[in-house]
Structure 1
Amino acid sequence: MDTIKQANRDIKSLQPIAQKACELFLNECKKKNIPIFITETHRSQARQDYLYEQGRTRQGQIVTWTRSSNHTGGYAWDIAVNPPHELYDAKIIAKAGEVAKELGIEWGGTWKSSPDTPHFQVDKNWKAPATENWKTQAIKQVCKQHNLEVNTWLGKCEEYLTVGEFFGIINKIIQ
């Protein structure tokens, strides 16, 4: 296998923080029915140079604007769109870009000088966005079902540490 000419699609070849970001990104896209797949993850500097030469010193269409990419450090991945859609359907990729924004993942589609819409990346300090804990989600759901003020009960939720005590407060809400 000539690794310079072949894309690596293995998420496990990314840095651990980028693996987590990429997996979260793919899961969120799946939840929102955004039909995408990974086309490339980590690449060697030799492959990056090879891609950079395409359309410049070697035949073919230009596919990258830089010799220095976060792909080589294992912090970036590229996507495409599943059939039957166009491979780089702009509307679908833009939806994936919105998901990335929600997750604090940088999307190449927002770059001013050289937009790269299939490209997504994180840095070594990326953190997954905080999600509500199950108690908060439950309180909000119960309050909504009973047309009650959520904020009145959210603070009380944190006072109850055990599952039994937590469900005690749920019972107080619905009485």
Structure 2
Amino acid sequence: MKRHPILFIIIIVIASVLFYQWMLHQKYAERPMPTELHPKVGQATEKLIKQSEDIGISIIITDGLRSVEEQNAIYEQGRSQEGKIVTYAKGGESYHNYGLAVDFALEPSDGQVIWDTEYDGNSNGQSDWMEVVDIAKSLGFSWGGDFSRFKDYPHLQMDFGLSIRELQKGKRPKDVMD
């Protein structure tokens, strides 16, 4: 019987890669879901509110961290519950679930909350919404209006280079920042 050393080496390499991936999964698998916004997301959100106010635009953060249960309830809107579809992300599939996203709206001086992307409350000839988006992007946020599949105009997120799949497996921003 002739031995094939190359085949043996390939099997060892594949087994090593699989073992390494299994070990990584074990390392992160038991991590609990976050219970608050990531500190960098929180700090950037505070700066966004302040910098928007500095140019005469008042915004309100309408949503931040969401539990898996809250996400599932929002997902059901327009499906098994009344209303229009506002998300395609089930619980655990949204950056909100990991404290990495916020939603905003404009808050004109009359106290209303509006999602009018054309509104120019500071009367400078530019959409207040897009001025806020520009500030958010300068602070490191990605904007849901740039998403290719589903435009989510109120949505701002910082993913720290992590996919939803990685987050679901327990990986967190500090793992990629260390």
Same fold, TM-score > 0.5, yes or no: yes
**What residue identity is the alignment partner of 1:87?**
I
Mapped partners of 1:101, 1:18: distance in 2: 12
Give per-residue Cα distances to partners, 1:3-51, cap 9 Å, x unaligned: xxxxxxxxx9311121111112112111122221110110001110110
CA contact (8 A) 1:93 1:117 kept: no
Is it true that 1:20 corresponds to 2:43 in the alignment? yes
Query: TM-score, normalized by length of structure 1?
Result: 0.60
Query: TM-score, normalized by length of structure 2?
Result: 0.59
Q: How far does residue 86 in structure 1 lie from its aligned partner after superposition? A: 6.5
| Structure 1 segments unaligned to the other structure (5+ residues) | 1-11, 127-175
**What residue identity is the alignment partner of 2:152?**
D
Q: Give 1:88's match in structure 2, choosing from 92, 101, 115.
A: 115
Mapped partners of 2:71, 2:113: distance in 1: 25
Mapped partners of 1:99, 1:82: distance in 2: 16
CA contact (8 A) 2:67 2:97 kept: yes
| Structure 2 segments unaligned to the other structure (5+ residues) | 1-34, 118-126, 162-172, 174-178
Q: Give 2:136's match in structure 1, choosing from 88, 96, 100.
A: 100
Answer 1 or 2: higher relative contact order, Cα 8 Å, separation at least 6. 2
Is it true that 1:52 corresponds to 2:67 in the alignment? no
Q: How far does residue 110 in structure 1 lie from its aligned partner after superposition? A: 1.4
Is it true that 1:71 corresponds to 2:96 in the alignment? yes
Mapped partners of 1:115, 1:60: distance in 2: 17
**Equivalent in the alignment of 2:52:** 29
1:43/1:86 CA distance change after superposition, 3 Å: closer
Give per-residue Cα distances to partners, 1:117-169, cap 9 Å, x unaligned: 1111112479xxxxxxxxxxxxxxxxxxxxxxxxxxxxxxxxxxxxxxxxxxx
Give per-residue Cα distances to partners, 1:45-98, cap 9 Å, x unaligned: 111011001101112221212121110000111111113476102032221111
**What residue identity is the alignment partner of 1:79?**
F
Q: Secondary structure at the match of 1:13?
A: coil
**Equivalent in the alignment of 2:166:** none
